[in-house]
C-alpha cells in the first residue's frame, strides 16, 4: 500500500510505503532524497536520511530529443535511384 503524503523535509509530494510483511513503514521523497524507515511494531526508526535542501534548483528533466530529422527523406531519394 502506497500513500501520498507531504515530505516533512521539503514539503513536496512524497510516498509512504506500508510494508506490512516487514512491519515497516518507509517514507521516501524523490524531490529531496528524504528517507525514513520505521518499524511499526517497535516504533523505532531503522533508517533515516534527511538531506539539506538543494541550494541550486535542479535542472528540469529534458524531454527526449526527437530523432525525426531528414532520415525518411534520404530513404525516399535513395529509392529513386
**Helix, strand or coil for residue 61?**
coil
State yes or no: residue 29 binds Zn ion (CB under 5 A): yes
State yes or no: residue 36 binds Zn ion (CB under 5 A): no
State in angstroms the smallest separation of the CB of 32 from Zn ion: 3
**Can you tell me the distance from the alpha carbon of 25 to that of 41, in angstroms, rounded to the nearest whole number?**
10
All three cell numbers of 54, joined, read 538543494
State in angstroms the smallest separation of the CB of 61 from Zn ion: 17
* Residues pairing with 4 in the sheet: 15
Interface with Zn ion (CB under 5 A)? 7, 9-10, 12, 29, 31-32, 34
Amino acid at each position: 500500500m502506497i500513500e501520498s503524503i507531504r515530505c516533512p523535509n521539503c514539503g513536496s509530494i512524497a510516498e509512504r510505503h506500508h510494508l506490512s510483511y516487514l512491519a515497516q513503514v518507509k517514507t521516501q521523497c524523490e524531490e529531496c532524497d528524504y528517507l525514513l524507515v520505521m518499524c511499526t511494531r517497535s516504533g523505532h526508526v531503522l533508517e533515516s536520511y534527511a538531506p539539506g535542501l538543494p541550494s541550486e534548483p535542479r535542472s528540469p528533466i529534458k524531454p527526449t530529443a526527437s530523432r525525426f530529422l531528414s532520415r525518411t527523406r534520404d530513404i525516399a531519394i535513395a529509392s529513386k535511384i
